[in-house]
Amino acid sequence: DAEAVAALAPYFDETDEARGQVIGTALESICHTYTEDDPLCPDRNITNCLSGGVCNLVSQGFLFNAPTADFAIQNRGGCRTDILAGEITYGSVFDILPFANTYVLLCDTFFSVAD
């Protein structure tokens, strides 16, 4: 509907500007999912074949921001794309994590988690 597009246009312009803001640099590409023929993932022994470096990086970020935590878990389905070498923008972060993720800090015993 053309009216809806026109009404939302200022918001799209604003979010497009924010998405383009550079917030960091990736010195090398980091794969999302390991596959046998993925050139971004030459070493499949780093992790299992279902999860790649992006989800591991996200988990490490969560852990960094929760210094009292012993470990962090990120559902591999929550990460959606590779990180390509070069500039990282807010937009690329939203492409990687397109959902409203919420941190949950759970206090429990090791034995309960292991079960």
- Residue 25 three-state SS: strand
Predicted local distance difference test score (pLDDT) of residue 1: 87
pTM of full prediction above 0.85: no
Tell me how far apart the alpha carbons of residues 16 and 95 are, in angstroms, rounded to a whole number. 13
Cβ–Cβ under 8 Å, residues 103 and 65: yes
Cβ–Cβ under 8 Å, residues 38 and 17: no
Q: Which residues pair with 89 in a beta bridge?
A: 22
Residue 86 gets the label, from left (phi > 0), alpha (psi -120 to 50) or beta, of left
Predicted local distance difference test score (pLDDT) of residue 21: 95
Length of the chain: 115
pLDDT by residue (tens digit) across 16-51?
Answer: 888 999 999 999 888 876 566 666 565 554 444 445
